[in-house]
Amino acid sequence: MLPRCAVSVCHVLMLVLCLSAAEDFDWTKNDHSSFYYGTFPAGFSWGAGSSAYQTEGAWDKDGKGLSIWDVFSHKKGKIQLNETGDSSCEGYYKVKDDVSLMKELKLNHYRFSISWPRLVPTGIKSEHINEKGIQHYEQLIDHLLENNITPIVTLYHWDLPQVLQEKYGGWQNISMVNHFNEFANLCFERFGNRVKHWITFNNPWSVAVEGYETGEHAPGLKLRGTGAYRAAHHIIKAHAKVWHTYDTQWRAKQKGLVGISLSGDWGEPVDISNQKDIEAAERYVQFYLGWFATPIFHGDYPQVMKDFIGRKSVQQGLGASRLPAFSPQEKSYIKGTCDFLGVGHFTTRYITQKTNPSGRSSSSYFSDRDLAELVDPRWPDPGSEWLYSVPWGFRRLLNFVKTQYGNPMVYVTENGVSEKMLCTELCDDWRIQYYKDYINEMLKAIKDGVNVKGYTAWSLLDKFEWDEGYSERFGLYYVDFRNKNKPRYPKASVQFYKRIISSNGFPNQREVENWRRKAVETCSSSNQLLAADPLTSHMEMVTEIVVPTVCTLSILLSAIFLMFLLRRRN
Ligand code: NOJ
């Protein structure tokens, strides 16, 4: 995501630029404001998602190895309030409870990720397989299937085994391709009879940019201008290898699908009559989603990335482009390795052209793009600083996917909105609004002909939000992290999302407004439950700490008193 200081500069810039641009911008185009009542195609799959490090906890239990996130989060100053995912939602111990929440929502699918170091503690399969880790995911998968919930399984949601980082430098090293392939193969072997939807990587953009360029995420490296491109290069090769492994060794027998989940914000030109802004906005999306999607669908990086990074590398006096190149064999090996495309989408930016100085010291992924990101101050931003609610951008992004990549089968693998920790409010009216509008734009995109097969609300539970710790809550269910049992409470959005699922869309205005009213009404009773919770924690403290301490002290005092009496007698 965009660095914070840049966002603030953008705010100011936006006030000036957008206000003048808004007059030119045709807000009625693409039906920005009109709501579309209608239903989704039969068989459309409704789900919710999570990831291992963000929810499981049990970071060092039952033979699990360390991941880069375990190590990163334990370093002081990396995460808000120095929080960690050590216990998080304790999801590792709450499989049955969480599946019953999914039942309550009537979900068709649940998207979760497998922790690589929980299965293969050192990351190297030939060294050791942790059977207890396997059992955990077997239990989860079986329980989902018993409840008619389809598992959609991500193989890499950012928790690389720490040993691979220390030994080889993680995704900077080509050897990750084979190690990841071995791990994926193990998952196909053990779970593939039951799992039919596999996602190789979740949001590799973040892995590359935030892990190896800005260092905000694990492993925290700041290899500006080169690290992200090299990491992405290896990730794309690893994805292709895993797809081929499945295709040649498992597909005939298991009949499943292998895709990748890419994140992309939409980029809209500030001034739609300015060719430079139009090109800058296209570049923004190509450097984001296109960076990974273009090789996978067309065999090579987007031309605009090759041109811009190549030209800047020459200007910087480098002998070769900082963007690595695929050989002709690699191109044809990578092309077409996607049975479905996972799309993670949250927000939109206005984009304008901005030429950056091309000195070597200033080289970075961000400056390579020659653009500035702006936001409209009128866009709602209830939670995360980067997350503005701009529903129409979703429809545009989905249409971009359709036209650029030959209308692939799409699963929306992440979409949702957060709130700040300060709001312990379960009546999340703004989240209802966000889901209602974004899901509606997705429905319009389907009417446009985009081949969307399923939607995953992000996320089922509040959870560890990476470098933001627990300060940003994305959950449909509120998790009380102060209580060691990590109880879950439904927010109002649970009721609303449930209605969308059971109606497979939006029947008519009156009903949808009714859902919303009812959802907000019922959440006040859940609010009371939550309000009572500090009392519960207080009671727990009384029974677990105060009572034993008082008892011990009383025994000690009585003993001293007894000794005193005995001495006096003698
Ligand atoms: C994308 C990441 O995949 C997910 O883990 C995270 O919770 C969301 N972005 C929200 O920041």
Q: Whose CA is nearest to atom 1 of ligand 1?
A: 203
Output the CA 346–ligand 1 centroid distance in Å.
9
Q: How far apart are CA 439 and CA 427, in angstroms?
A: 19
| Residue 204 near ligand 1, beta carbon < 6 Å | no
| Residue 472 near ligand 1, beta carbon < 6 Å | no
Mean pLDDT of 41-60: 98
Active-site residue flag, 189? no
- Looking at the chain, the whole-number percentage of residues with pLDDT higher than 90 is 82
Q: Whose CA is nearest to atom 10 of ligand 1?
A: 465
Output the CA 50–ligand 1 centroid distance in Å.
9
Average pLDDT, the chain: 90
Higher-pLDDT residue of 525 and 219 is 219
| Residue 203 near ligand 1, beta carbon < 6 Å | yes
Residue 53's pLDDT is what?
A: 98
Q: How far apart are CA 427 and CA 78, in angstroms?
A: 31
Instruction: Kindly compute the dihedral angle of the four CA atoms of residues 77, 80, 86, 89, in this order, to the nearest 10 degrees.
Output: -170
Q: How far apart are CA 247 and CA 256, in angstroms?
A: 9
- Looking at the chain, the whole-number percentage of residues with pLDDT higher than 70 is 89
Output the CA 559–ligand 1 centroid distance in Å.
58
Q: Whose CA is nearest to atom 5 of ligand 1?
A: 51
Among 217, 265, 418, 465, name the best residue to mutate to test ligand 1's pocket (greatest count of ligand atoms within 8 A of Cβ): 465
Q: Judge whether residue 134 has pLDDT over 50.
A: yes
Among 414, 459, 464, name the best residue to mutate to test ligand 1's pocket (greatest count of ligand atoms within 8 A of Cβ): 414
Query: Is residue 326 a contact partner of residue 291, using CB atoms and an 8 Å limit?
Result: no
Residue 220's pLDDT is what?
A: 98
Q: How far apart are CA 11 and CA 289, in angstroms?
A: 24
| Residue 462 near ligand 1, beta carbon < 6 Å | no
Output the CA 199–ligand 1 centroid distance in Å.
15
Helix (H, G, I), strand (E, B) or coil at 528: helix
Instruction: For residue 465, give the ligand 1 atom closest to its CA.
Output: 7
Q: Which residues contact 470 (CB under 8 A, 6 or more apart)?
A: 80, 81, 83, 421, 462, 463, 464, 481
Cα distances from 393 to residues 142, 268, 387, 398, 473, in angstroms, run 37, 8, 12, 9, 22
Mean pLDDT of 543-555: 59
Please give the full DSSP string across 206-250, using - where no structure is assigned: HHHHHHHTS-SSTT----TTTHHHHHHHHHHHHHHHHHHHIIIII
Helix (H, G, I), strand (E, B) or coil at 357: coil
List alpha helices for 360-504, DSSP H. 365-368, 391-404, 429-448, 492-503
| Residue 344 near ligand 1, beta carbon < 6 Å | yes
Instruction: For residue 459, give the ligand 1 atom closest to its CA.
Output: 7
Residue 180's pLDDT is what?
A: 98
Q: How far apart are CA 270 and CA 353, in angstroms?
A: 9
Output the CA 560–ligand 1 centroid distance in Å.
59
The model's confidence at residue 9, banded by pLDDT at 50, 70 and 90, is very low
Q: Which residues contact 471 (CB under 8 A, 6 or more apart)?
A: 80, 81, 420, 421, 465
| C-alpha of 175 from chain center | 25
Residue 530's pLDDT is what?
A: 74
The model's confidence at residue 123, banded by pLDDT at 50, 70 and 90, is very high
Mean pLDDT of 180-194: 98
Query: Is residue 417 a contact partner of residue 383, using CB atoms and an 8 Å limit?
Result: yes
Mean pLDDT of 539-544: 45
Q: How far apart are CA 399 and CA 413, in angstroms?
A: 16
Q: Judge whether residue 421 has pLDDT over 60.
A: no
Q: How far apart are CA 210 and CA 470, in angstroms?
A: 18
Where in 264-325 does DSSP place strands (E)? 266-269
Residue 423's pLDDT is what?
A: 53
Query: Is residue 350 a contact partner of residue 375, using CB atoms and an 8 Å limit?
Result: yes
Instruction: For residue 463, give the ligand 1 atom closest to its CA.
Output: 7
Give the angle subtended at the CA of 81 by the CAs of 79 and 83, to the nearest 5°.
60
From 90, 414, 419, 441, the catalytic residue: 414
Instruction: For residue 203, give the ligand 1 atom closest to its CA.
Output: 3
* Pick from 406, 416, 396: nearest CA to 285: 396
Instruction: For residue 344, give the ligand 1 atom closest to its CA.
Output: 1
Q: Which two tokens stand for residue 502?
A: 């059971």
Residue 568 CB coordination number (10 Å): 7
Among 206, 419, 458, 473, name the best residue to mutate to test ligand 1's pocket (greatest count of ligand atoms within 8 A of Cβ): 458
Edge-first strand order for the sheet with 348-353 is 266-269, 348-353, 371-374
Output the CA 75–ligand 1 centroid distance in Å.
21
Query: What are the backbone angles phi and psi of residue 206, rounded to the nearest 5°?
Result: -65, -40
Q: Judge whether residue 555 has pLDDT over 50.
A: yes
| Residue 202 near ligand 1, beta carbon < 6 Å | yes
Please give the full DSSP string across 18-32, using - where no structure is assigned: HHHHHHHS-TTGGGS
The model's confidence at residue 569, banded by pLDDT at 50, 70 and 90, is low
| Residue 465 near ligand 1, beta carbon < 6 Å | yes
Residue 549's pLDDT is what?
A: 61
The model's confidence at residue 172, banded by pLDDT at 50, 70 and 90, is very high
Q: What is the pLDDT of residues 282-313, one digit of tens each?
A: 999 999 999 999 999 999 999 999 999 999 99
Domains contained in the chain, CATH given:
44-214+226-555 (3.20.20.80)
| Residue 210 near ligand 1, beta carbon < 6 Å | no
pTM of the model: 0.89
Helix (H, G, I), strand (E, B) or coil at 104: helix
The model's confidence at residue 10, banded by pLDDT at 50, 70 and 90, is very low
Q: Judge whether residue 230 has pLDDT over 90.
A: yes
Q: What is the pLDDT of residues 386-407, one digit of tens each?
A: 999 999 999 999 999 999 999 9
Query: What are the backbone angles phi and psi of residue 413, rounded to the nearest 5°?
Result: -100, -15
